[in-house]
Chain A
Amino acid sequence: MKVNLRIWRQPGPHAPGRLVDYSIDGIDPSQSFLEMLDALNEKLIKEGKEPVAFESDCREGICGNCGLVINGVAHGPKAACTTCEVRMRQFEDGQTITVEPFRAKAFPMIKDLVVNRSAFDRIMSKGGFVAVNSGSAQDANLQPIHKDDAEHAMDAAACIGCGACVAACPNASASLFVGAKVSQYTWLPQGKVERHGRVLKMVKQMDAEGFGDCSNHAECEAACPKEISVSNISRMRREYTKALLAGV
């Protein structure tokens, strides 16, 4: 099959960017979207042109490294998958596909389709953990955890940190990302000790990074490749209120 592409090209953070048209033929419908971009890049290199910079690593939907806005939708047309899991059979022969980076103030541009998502790491450093040193743990079965609680925690912990929630949000809010982490520890007894400090510090850092506020559009949930529910945002807000009331 053949597709026409309109791809965001931007040589660097301070250079202007624009959409550039390309077309590529001989695509196999079982190819992944990124393999189609690989093929385009190989063609560009052969023509003496600079290939399109984009990121990917595991190519099976778990590392969270890839992330493109395809035809206006973060991670493309299919629900519950990452960009690397999108297959070309999702598209029509001859279709025009627009490809852009995950745009947000808190995700500064690096080059073409590559942005800097280190803000997520900085948020995590404020409380995305249980403060337990190596070697100081008790036997794992001493503390029973209700199966349902463990399952809820796992639902939230499935976040891959890709940033699609931010890219999809009209406010570029990171509430789903933060809410998922806060929720994971809210469901588990291990998270209880630090619960107040965790939510306050993580939310403060989220604001400091320049992410917007949540205004309940739920676009994040629709874009999330791991189908993380917006109920995690509600839980984060409740935790936040409780923490404020606790006066920490």
Chain B
Amino acid sequence: MSDKYPLNPNIPPGPVQEKWTSHKFNMKLVNPANKRKHTVIVVGTGLAGASAAASLGELGYNVLSFCIQDSPRRAHSVAAQGGINAAKNYQNDGDSVYRLFYDTVKGGDFRSREANVYRLSEVSTNIIDQCVAQGVPFAREYGGTLANRSFGGAQVSRTFYARGQTGQQLLLGAYGSLMRQVEEGKVKLFPRREMLDLVKIDGVARGIITRNLVSGELEKYAADAVLLCTGGYSTVFYLSTNAVNCNATAAWRCYKKGAYFANPCYTQIHPTCIPRFGETQSKLTLMSESLRNDGRVWVPRRKGDERKPSEIPESERDYYLETKYPAFGNLVPRDIASRNAKEVCDEGRGVGPTGFAVYLDFAEAINRLGKDVIAQRYGNLFAMYHEISGDDPYETPMMIYPAPHYTMGGLWVDYNLMTTIDGLFALGEANFSDHGANRLGASALMQGLADGYFVIPYTLGNYLASAQPKPVTTDAAEFEEAVKNVQTGVEKLMSINGHTTADEIHRELGNIMIDEVGMARSEKGLKKALEEIPKIREKFWKDLRIPGDAKDYNKELEKAGRVADFLELGELMARDALERKESCGGHFRLESQDKDGEAKRDDKNFTHVAAWRFLGEDKVPERCVEPLEYEYVKPSERSYK
């Protein structure tokens, strides 16, 4: 642990059940008349950003809301399919705030902060109330009450959903609230803007520099606080389930300005994605893991078995999840399902043209429930699969393979969601806080909205009332300097004038990342990645080609800036994975497994958050540590057998 820079999580005292309540009371308030004197920048308009911007506007703050898309409604939260968890216990099946808290801490493999997770579980119930009041059309029972389903390894039904478009509907709810504040004049929208730097004055976050993605102009914006709601960094793998414009640039530039980056190696590889077909593919498509409720996962027992699935008799099929994990079967958590798929494929028993796929078979469920029931439950997913793959899953098993999907790591934040830079907050997937080493299904939407609707409105007020930031304008010298630096960076990219496109280099990086920093990691592989990534980076800075003009709509320039940052972030991920010599959650170290090949945690040495501090270009960053304590959920082996 670095003594010079201790990480103080600022967890309120008292029993975990009372921390948030007492903290809410103890925090300072900003007088309504003073709220309108404060300006807040919110970067990103996904669930976290839109809900934060709307809620802060409602409170009376002046909000400047930025997004890279043409409309705030397109942020990648829109693509979440499955649902959102809440401890409502509407099903009378034993759920409670405490159980959701317990499940989330355990699911995170004892690498998250108890206090944060408890608060998340606590406000989860308010989120559902809020969204229903907004007119989010959740699925309902015949009696008119809300429907729930069990999801991703949970033993209670606590997941609320709107068909397979839950993320879209929640986002449109938040977007509607945001647009209402735009109309009220409390939020000003800045679409098609990419944040390229954070501006600090006297060590405190006071503004941002953006590039106008249509005109190419660099713009300066000043505020009393900056909220980063810019999502995760799965696209570092090139192929992922994330939207193609998702990126880590805003977070990465904040890291380089002094915000610590926590647990970058914690990534989630989602088990049920459509396998890749070839080199030219631009993204992977996720199918809701609710499919695993009725689908059975299998591969042939024999290596290199090229028979059609229908020609392989039952006795020659290996339903490996059901055999290995009889209690949970096909419903084991995501990391376990993914790793086992990789394992059987690495053994040479994978199926499909690339050999990197396993079957997800609905034949038994169709026999048992009938085609109609299956069509009702999964019709849209089956249609999507049919469309993309050309195969009809009613007739032949689906093929699936894991794909990078979510990143639990992110900017380090304290209990108040503030990073190590005063005045800079990180919300949603952009922070590291609540999911530990593995996120449970249907918890990402919950966290984004918890942070935006119910946490930041309180903690930001406390910050502003305590810090009393002095007025600042974009005329300050620090803004001028930041613009110059960004300008220099853009010119440097434009002037390389080589032969390789940003996508080509991104693909090269992605291959290394998925092979060595993907589902299974080893010391040897990680060291290889740490050797290879700087070489790709060198090639990037020598041979990149960006056509066109920087003062224009220029997609290639956008991509290049993001790839430049991924080439640095990828290295940090490998470094973090190398230092974390244990297996935990989504981070599986080949050197750390038990005799059955299951992940082996090392609580003695690694019950901590690793937060990385930037020390300068080409310098090895410093690994700082926040110890984690488990007062309520005692660390146990995360067994799903």
Contact = CB atoms under 8 A, between A and B. Distances in A.
A132 B244 contact: no
Contacts of A48: 547
Is the contact region of chain A dominated by helix, strand, or loop, or is it mixed?
A: loop
A52 to B, nearest CB: 9
Contacts of B303: none
Given A154-B162, A190-B133, A125 B76 contact: no
| Residue in B70, B130, B169, B552 with the greatest tally of chain A CB atoms within 10 Å | B70
Contacts of B137: 150-151, 153-154, 157, 184, 187-188
Contact of B244 (A59, A61, A136, A139): A59
Nearest to A39: B280
Nearest to A42: B501
A107 to B, nearest CB: 10
A184 B176 CA distance: 13
Interface stretch (B10-18, B143-151, B421-429, B533-541): B143-151
Contact of B176 (A44, A49, A89, A129): A129
Interface string A181-225: 000110110110000000000000000000000000000000000
A248 interface: no
A187 B90 CA distance: 24
A146 to B, nearest CB: 6
Contact of A136 (B69, B133, B141, B388): B133
Interface residues of B, number: 82
A53 B559 CA distance: 13
A185 B135 contact: yes
Contact of B503 (A42, A49, A56, A121): A42
B71 A129 contact: no
B168 A31 contact: no
B70 A45 contact: no
B273 to A, nearest CB: 11
B454 A134 contact: yes
Interface string B274-297: 000110111101100000000000
Contacts, number: 222
Interface in A69-86: 81, 85
Interface stretch (B178-186, B263-271, B478-486): B178-186
A97 interface: no
B74 A64 contact: yes
A16 interface: no
Interface string B125-145: 010111111110111111111
Given A125-B180, A154-B163, A190 B553 contact: no
A87 interface: yes
B172 interface: yes
A85 B386 CA distance: 11
A89 B387 CA distance: 10
Contact of A57 (B130, B182, B244, B547): B244
25 contacts: A30-B389, A35-B282, A39-B280, A45-B545, A50-B547, A57-B69, A58-B78, A64-B71, A87-B387, A87-B388, A116-B70, A118-B70, A121-B179, A129-B135, A129-B180, A134-B55, A134-B177, A137-B133, A138-B129, A140-B132, A146-B144, A150-B137, A161-B74, A184-B135, A191-B135
Interface of A: 12, 28, 30-32, 34-35, 38-39, 42, 44-46, 48-51, 53, 55-65, 81, 85, 87, 89, 110-111, 114, 116-118, 120-121, 124-126, 128-141, 143-147, 150-151, 153-154, 157-158, 160-161, 184-185, 187-188, 190-191
5 interchain residue pairs of minimum CB distance:
A144-B144, A129-B176, A137-B133, A137-B129, A153-B137
Interface of B: 51, 54-55, 58, 69-74, 76, 78-79, 88, 90, 126, 128-135, 137-146, 162-163, 165, 167-169, 172-173, 175-177, 179-180, 182-183, 189, 191, 214, 243-245, 277-278, 280-283, 285-286, 384, 387-390, 453-454, 457, 499, 501, 503-504, 545, 547-548, 552-553, 555-556
